[in-house]
Amino acid sequence: GRAPSRASGPGGVQPLIKLLAAHFGWPEVAFMSIDVHKQGRLTREEFGLGLLLGAGVDFLRLTGVSVGTLFAAVDARGLGHVTARDLGGCCPGVWSECGADPPTRPEKLRSLPWAAAGGVDAVATCWYS
């Protein structure tokens, strides 16, 4: 038989996702921390740099595998870059088990950048007038 992939076995990508889920709660929040240049997508090099500097994760010590192996596990679509969606699609069971519950609709509404739109009253006035 085939040898198990180090990317998904013990000491592979799962410990990384478990740590990110436990610390950040949601893949989108973890990605925002990793995306130190705030571009919305990461190359392999940016992913490694972001894990170290943005999220403060010594991925080699935690996982025992290279950034290339971890990146390949997250880049399931093989595009050469990853997004928050890709991060959330990697080990979804681990995100569900170790991460935060999905935000409720009221929580999502409260988190919107209301001040950028002139405040809640301005938005409501525009919306309902």
pLDDT of residue 9: 42
How much of the chain exceeds pLDDT 70, in percent? 90
User: pLDDT tens across 50-106, in order?
Assistant: 999 999 999 999 999 999 999 999 999 999 999 999 999 999 999 999 999 887 888
DSSP the chain: -PPPPTTTSTTSHHHHHHHHHHHHSSHHHHHHHH-TT--S-B-HHHHHHIIIIIS---HHHHHSS-HHHHHHHH-TT--S-B-HHHHHHSSHHHHHHHSPPPPPHHHHHHHS-GGGGT-HHHHHHHHH-
pTM of the model: 0.76
Question: Which residue ranges form the domains of the chain, and what is each CATH number?
Answer: 13-98 (1.10.238.10), 103-129 (no CATH)
